Amino acid sequence: MFDGLKDKLNSFKENVEEEAEPVEAAEDADAETEPVDAEAVSGDAESAESEAEPEPEPEPESDEDDGGSDRGLMERAKLAATGKEVIEEDDLEGPLEELELALLSSDVEMSVAQEILRGIRENLIGETRSKVKTTGLVVEEALRDALIDVISVGQFDFEQRIAEADKPVSIIFTGVNGVGKTTTIAKLSQWLDDRGYSTVLANGDTYRAGANEQLQQHADTLDERLISHEQGSDPAAVIYDAVEYAEANDVDVVLGDTAGRLHTSNDLMDQLEKIDRVIEPDMTIFVDEAVAGQDAVNRAREFDDAAAIDGAVLTKADADPQGGAAISIAQVTGKPILFLGTGQDYDDLEPFDPEVIVDRLLGYDDEDADAGEAAA
């Protein structure tokens, strides 16, 4: 998952390290290659001492001070421990240009790519490192912080929201045709059931031929109840009946499907607005494919503008080498990605944890795997 973007981020870390480290190495090399005449240095030092006026020692500020001389030694010790400046603005210029191109080629939205670069500059320029930190580690930490800041916008705990909400909780799913809304509803039903929540499914996609049969098949497999009307019925009425059923039967969550639509489909958008007005759902979730990349980002923005969403689910994340949609959607809409679809089975639904995703992009999961193999 996101292997292409992972490789590009690792290239950026290596490029910055190559740019920043040789400065220190060159200075060390100069120090080694220029021999020092100890007697000349000693003579020069004695002459300088005889000509220079002695400087008065600073007086202690309080009785608790160890004295000016000791304070000077302590400050010098702190500077030595902090280390020297290793990353300058010039060091970042080339690698950042390459990173911007890499992000854009991975379908990251332009404003999001620029926000990532801004965060990296803010975290790195003028950065100093301790003697135990390599430049690569400093860059990695700055990159991790910038990525997390971008993709964690609006993030909330989905399960906690379900637990705290009045029951039944109504959730409406929307998006374009063919992106996996119906399968996502079935997966989320299984996910909720695994955590002790009962669900009822509602087919508000009343215009697509075969929609009832498709969702009914999932309901039968999961042993869940499906509320549906005849093809061509009012979608708001179907979901309203599902909410009524849930209230009468102490069902925790209503999961409502809707017809696939584009934001330019006025009639369908009117239906979605009617559902919002009649049902007042607790959440509206936008579903799209991770592999759609920039198209998914644009559609998320358009759907949120037309009828506010509360979060997104990206399907086919396991087949997405780029990761641009996962990086961009939260920043663009201000609404979080809640889940990733990672396969065809009902349990192939992964809660979206920004820190886990960023660690995966930076290869931390690979390091854990290598450590596990070494231990074995």
178 labeled binding residue:
yes
Higher pLDDT, 294 or 74: 294
**Domain termination site, one of 128, 151, 174:** 151
128 labeled binding residue:
no
What is the 3-class SS of 295-331, one letter each residue? Answer: HHHHHHHHHHHHCCCCEEEEECHHHCCCCHHHHHHHH
For residues 336 and 210, membership in a common domain is answered with yes
Rg of the chain's alpha carbons, rounded to an integer? 30
Q: Give the pLDDT of residue 301.
A: 87
User: Is residue 366 one of the residues assigned to a domain?
Assistant: no
252 labeled binding residue:
no
Q: Give the pLDDT of residue 259.
A: 81
Per-residue pLDDT tens digits for 111-142:
888 998 888 888 777 655 555 456 667 778 88
Q: Give the pLDDT of residue 65.
A: 46
Sheet with 253-258: strands ordered across: 225-227, 199-204, 253-258, 169-174, 283-289, 311-315, 337-341, 349-351
Identify the band that residue 218 occupies on the pLDDT scale cut at 50, 70 and 90: very high
Q: Which segment, 75-79, 88-92, 295-299, is predicted with the most confidence on average?
A: 295-299
315 labeled binding residue:
yes
**CATH code assigned at 91:** 1.20.120.140
**Dist CA 198 CA 189 (whole Å):** 8
Q: At residue 104, does pLDDT exceed 80?
A: yes
258 labeled binding residue:
yes
For residues 239 and 127, membership in a common domain is answered with no
φ, ψ (nearest 5 deg) of residue 146: -65, -40
Q: How many domains does the chain have?
A: 2
pTM summary value: 0.75
For residues 101 and 18, membership in a common domain is answered with yes
Q: Give the pLDDT of residue 86.
A: 53
User: Is residue 179 one of the residues assigned to a domain?
Assistant: yes
For 170, the token pair is 């109504």
For residues 331 and 288, membership in a common domain is answered with yes
Identify the band that residue 31 occupies on the pLDDT scale cut at 50, 70 and 90: very low
How much of the chain, in percent, has pLDDT values that exceed 70?
Answer: 72
372 labeled binding residue:
no
Per-residue pLDDT tens digits for 157-216:
999 999 999 999 999 999 888 899 999 999 999 999 999 999 999 998 887 878 889 999
Mean predicted confidence (pLDDT) in 205-228: 89
304 labeled binding residue:
no
257 labeled binding residue:
yes
